[in-house]
Amino acid sequence: MSFLTSMSVSNNAACSAIKRRMISPMALLARSFASVNDNSSTKPLHAYYPVVPGSLTAHLQLRTGETFTGGSFGATSSSIGETVFTTSLVGYPESMTDPSYRGQLLVFTQPLIGNYGVPKRARDQYGLLKHFESEKIQCSGIVVSDYATKYSHWNAVESLSEWCEREGVPAITGVDTRALVHILRGQGSTLGSLSAGSQPLEESKIQWVDPNAKNLVAQASTDSVRVFNPDGDVHIALIDCGVKYNIIRSLCEQGARVSLVPWNHNLVDNLASYDGIFISNGPGSPTHCTETIAQLRQAFEVYQRPIFGICMGNQLMGLAAGLNAYKLRFGNRGHNQPAVDLTTGKCVITSQNHGYALDDAQMPAGWDRYYVNANDGSNEGIRHLEKPFRSVQFHPEAKGGPLDTGYLFAEFVDSVRASKAAGLPASQSVIDESTASAQAATA
């Protein structure tokens, strides 16, 4: 036996001995998880995580029959939602408070969740929470592989478990999220039930309700106008479809005065009041937002100043322009989605969270594709060929990262500022009225 081999064996033996002393049988039990492989039988899957004696169990039941039993670390309640997954490695406080996750059971593919706890509810100069994207947890429940019972971070004030319990959100740990994601990718995002208790719910008693059948945007939107950064030099109407706080912050940091308006705000009658229009992200299907689509369609005909949309905003602008939307098989959710700018050929890494996309196979007259997803070829943005109207499907504000496309906020506000400096009228009707007045005076 060589010196290196003997050293390797010796070191391995020493490491094994240390591990045996450090990891108790109970800890090893807690680290195992419910698992399944591709050779599973055709019987309904029930993957069971051996919960530590005395601990409460939780159950994730998919409408298609699969069940995952694990440990409960959230509220002792039950919830129904669309089961979706995110590949983001960091930022679970931001993801869980993102209104776009409203009505969904959120599966984290990152194995270890909760290790840096939950930050304090500090606010910035605009009155927005610094570390969260809204005032509360928006998802209906969370599913993780390994919940960290002990957290460590200088800014943490409570554990993820305490936060979920306080806000009434169920959570399950010990799930083989690799197997679960394999299922979701194969059959698509699926309705699920997440409950805490000794036994799974009786399937016949589960009242399956598809959140996408509801107008989730109306639920997530503000019901009154709110103004941020009132001393800004340009006035932007931000249509709230379920806006993330960092979108508001990003516009304010560019020096804009932001009026957050409801999703069904009477935009057309107030066009002259706004130097620019911005449509936010939001949850669910865009087809429910018929009032917003109608307002945007009218605005496209007469408005002369910049319009920009993000995520749901991209879809609503597309529908108003004449495109159709369709549901993606399992959506694009995470911080690592590549999108190609078709005007420059540049590829950027983006944060995304959507289950619907625009069908851009045939673009309406006057419009063109702006960005395209480099993975699946789905639409990532549209732009008008003559007017300053653009939108993107991804999130340039990207709280949690990446920051590749933050420049889009600066470009938008700069274009708003330039149109205001040029004295560009808000709408074509103003131009028509001015022309008519001039002609009458000449006559």
Amino acid, res. 269: D
* Active-site annotation holds for 395: yes
Residue-wise DSSP of 313-331: HHHHHHHHHT-EEEEEEEE
Task: Give me the torsion for CA of 240, 244, 250, 251, rounded to 10°.
Answer: 0
Pairing of strands 256-261, 226-228: antiparallel
Amino acid, res. 398: A
Using CA atoms, how far apart are residues 332 and 185, in angstroms rounded to an integer?
11
SS (H, E, C) 184-197: HHHHCCEEEEEEEC
Using CA atoms, how far apart are residues 213 and 353, in angstroms rounded to an integer?
18
Is the bond leading into 93 cis (omega within 30 degrees of zero)? no
For 159, the enclosing helix (H) or strand (E) is none
* Active-site annotation holds for 397: yes
Amino acid, res. 434: S
* Short-list 195, 200, 202, CA closest to 46: 200
- 113-148 in b/e burial notation, b at 16+ Cβ within 10 A? bbbbbbbeeeeeeeebbebbbbeebbbbbbbbbbbb
């943005």: which residue's tokens?
381
Identified catalytic residue from 131, 311, 354, 380: 311
Identified catalytic residue from 66, 82, 380, 397: 397
Residues in a beta bridge with 373 = 339
Q: How distant, in Å, are the alpha carbons of 85, 92, 137, 163, 172 from that of 160?
A: 18, 9, 11, 5, 12
- 305-328 in b/e burial notation, b at 16+ Cβ within 10 A? bbbbbbbbbbbbbbbbbebebeeb
**CB-hemisphere CA count at 13 Å for 223?**
1
For residue 249, the Cα-to-chain-centroid distance in whole angstroms is 17
* Active-site annotation holds for 311: yes
Residues 6+ apart with CB under 8 A from 265: 225, 237, 239, 295
Q: With beta carbons less than 8 A apart as the criterion, state whether 429 and 438 touch.
A: no
Q: With beta carbons less than 8 A apart as the criterion, state whether 84 and 104 touch.
A: yes
Could you give the residue numbers annotated as active site?
311, 395, 397
